[in-house]
Amino acid sequence: MVLDVVYNHFGPGDLDLWQFDGWSINDGGGIYFYNDWRAETPWGHNRPDYGRPEVRQYIRDNALMWLHDYRVDGLRMDAIAFVRNVHGEEDPGADLPDGWSLMRWINEEIDQTMPWKITIAEDMRSNSRITDSVATGGQGFNSQWDNSFVYPW
């Protein structure tokens, strides 16, 4: 079984993590979310702050939990383009390097500890670096959701 997981946004704003400690800027989500222009997603202003160590650990632990504890065969990670770029495009001015490195870190650990598991990126931008190995600077996904296949099919 392959499980669909969503790490590109946490929302809506009624989650327990939303303004968890009572602090926020610009009415944003608080310490675990971006509180500036990087918060914007198509699903609201609720992108987790991929640069915060606690957020990175939470997402990593979640991915590994499904694979290890629940023994799913793989993960299909939703809308990865929005983890690596604010607008989900190939726009270097809106890149999220922390999101890119987070996905690479997760895939590297999966490959090292459970190489028989599969990770699929729904990226839809046909960026070859998504499936390039971590060793060569890619994100290390085993497969990429192919826009030219999904819609016609």
User: Active-site positions?
Assistant: 78, 122
Sequence length of the chain is: 153
Angle at 28 between CA 27 and CA 32, to 5 degrees: 145
Query: What's the CA gap between 1 and 29, in Å, rounded?
Result: 33
Query: What's the CA gap between 88 and 74, in Å, rounded?
Result: 23
3-state secondary structure of 76: strand
Residue 13 one-letter amino acid: G
Return the DSSP state at 79.
Answer: T
Residues 75 and 43: beta-carbon distance below 8 Å: no
